[in-house]
Chains A and B, each alone.
Chain A
């Protein structure tokens, strides 16, 4: 048997605590109201507990398909989304639970979506990988690696076209940087000064393949140089650094309509998906434990806020208790929700059919087996 290639990324995680101290002085952090700082911590905890509970729900057989958990990367979604303004938008890949919670989606609609329930954010038509809330400027959850990168470009293009001073945060994994769609997007973003910010969440592994075995060059974000795009490597486990440096990119996008490529070095504790049963094939248990013990973004930021006098044991306990209660309520809501009626199979396919069926001519759906479908009832 060959030895697994465990070329763990050596990101500047070890400096995360130090970075939090340095970037605490950035105005975007130093000017932040105490309750908003605590909210950053709270949201990371909420995501962590939501993910842990999702795994249990999955193991109970109530969630189908794939489940890509965000544990370990929380500071990226929470830090970046905490900066969103009126005209800013978000789009991401399939590891989307953290972003959905960070933009303010309700845990109940997310848990229900994963269980395929009618009360889910996408009525049970999208599942774990396809959370959407355009109302909160969250444009999905996308299942094809890199496939969302031109969409993020288009969202930002529309903002510019409409004369709005905003930007689009488009997240992708380190595996997605090798997709052609991403490179075409970078070129177009630079060519046309599109206010899109690509955020590579570099957790070191594209599925079971380490960065070293999949991507040429040591610094992923440096690929931006070929397109004349500003780039930065960021400690993705340091909340203050994530915020400070994302803010710079947002300023560049909003004020000068320029794109940026950010590489956030982080780490995921769980497998690529829950189906990734043997994560140790491509990395060691010791590696995972080291990250959890020494570089965990929640633990690190907790220490920062304790130092700042904003958190103590009682407050921390209360935050965890409230998050746990929220997660349990979400599970209960999902458990008690119905699956969509059979007729829902044929809605949300064509906007014209949904909104003005009488004005539509011709057959839109073929071989519908209408009688059979009408006779079917889904058991509660």
Chain B
């Protein structure tokens, strides 16, 4: 099986969907002639031309809203945010329009749009380029949001997102773009709303999404090697819809849970998951639910400090040891 990067997996997904469906087009800043700020769309403009790959000026509100209007008319726009942090400039179009026109029209419209781009800290660029807004998106009924952690999931979730009839926000990660995984050739579709056990274990469960999954896999190796503790790692993949069943099953299996995310803690995704477990699996728990999040301050610039800010394997291990 070929080893390909997370970036290449996304590129393949986009190319396959553009080739498959004439209604799919990509729009964003530097996506076409420049080949993408992070090269996710590299080569696509040369291959598919200016109708399918559209370079937009720096106007997130304008082209996010354009995407909503075009999607209502039956097109399938894939709108790139150079960073998800920049989506805040156009949030009105996402929350007030993409998420709600279907409801407010009594089901007469749909908005089959994808909004995609990196959403992560850890890159030494300061707060304005380091936001992780998956909890804002997940808070809004009408929107869907996925956070792939591997190349396989990046490809499969992106293709599923483009084919979905609702607006799907795909949150990628610049620190993962260059990482390689084995990905089989051919069609891959990862359904939205389906979590995945990335490592089976019996002593405790890590529940994570996005790059935090990778952190948890590293923590699990340390726990096994140094402490003989066998951790399970559940990758949510999709935040909304959420695979609640998989969460409850892993809790019932291990009875101990550490929730890990690169989000800030207050009202983070894991707050909802903690509430779910407390509500529906209380009797399964042998220890309090623990959370590991990004440290609760604006994302700091200084690299050594930022490295501490995000969840690290050692912090995850230390937290796990408090309940094992």
Contacts and interface: CB of A to CB of B under 8 A. Distances in A.
B206 interface: no
Contacts of B71: 154
A161 B22 CA distance: 10
B110 to A, nearest CB: 4
Contact of B74 (A158, A191, A350, A365): A158
Interface string A180-211: 11001101100100000000000000000000
A358 interface: no
B149 to A, nearest CB: 17
A132 B241 contact: no
A378 interface: no
A330 to B, nearest CB: 17
B257 interface: no
Given A180-B61, A362-B242, A348 B68 contact: no
B69 A348 contact: no
B72 interface: yes
Interface string A336-380: 000000000001111110110000111111110000000000000
Nearest to B144: A350
A157 interface: yes
A97 interface: no
Contacts of A140: 101, 104-105
Interface string A12-32: 000000000000000000000
Q: Which of A184, A185, A347 counts the most chain B CB atoms within 10 A?
A: A184
B193 A150 contact: no
Interface string B79-117: 000000000000011001100011111111110100000
Q: Which of A151, A180, A187 counts the most chain B CB atoms within 10 A?
A: A151
Interface stretch (B33-41, B51-59, B310-318): B51-59
A149 interface: yes
A3 to B, nearest CB: 36
A364 B108 CA distance: 20
Q: Which of B25, B64, B166 counts the most chain A CB atoms within 10 A?
A: B166
B191 A361 contact: yes
B66 interface: yes
B65 interface: yes
B244 A147 contact: no
B241 A364 contact: yes
B104 A350 contact: no
A268 interface: no
A161 B194 CA distance: 34
A348 B63 CA distance: 25
B243 interface: yes
A149 B65 contact: yes
Interface in B220-255: 238, 240-244
A376 to B, nearest CB: 19
Contacts of A143: 96
Contacts of B275: 367
Contact of B106 (A132, A162, A361): A132
Nearest to B142: A349
A262 interface: no
B298 interface: no
Contacts of A360: 192-193, 241
Contacts of B142: 349-350
Contacts of A121: 105-106, 108
Given A122-B105, A352-B164, A362-B243, A153 B69 contact: yes
A142 interface: yes
B166 A365 contact: no
Q: Which of A125, A143, A355 counts the most chain B CB atoms within 10 A?
A: A125
Nearest to A181: B61
Contact of A187 (B57, B144, B166): B57
Nearest to B62: A184
Given A149-B65, A188-B62, 20 more contacts: A121-B108, A122-B108, A125-B105, A125-B106, A140-B105, A144-B92, A147-B92, A151-B68, A154-B77, A161-B51, A184-B63, A185-B66, A187-B59, A188-B66, A349-B141, A349-B142, A352-B164, A361-B194, A362-B238, A363-B241
The 9 closest A-B pairs by CB, nearest first: A154-B69, A150-B65, A362-B193, A184-B62, A362-B241, A158-B73, A132-B105, A361-B193, A348-B107
16 contacts: A125-B103, A130-B105, A142-B97, A154-B70, A157-B69, A158-B70, A162-B75, A181-B61, A185-B65, A351-B166, A352-B165, A361-B191, A361-B243, A362-B241, A363-B244, A364-B241
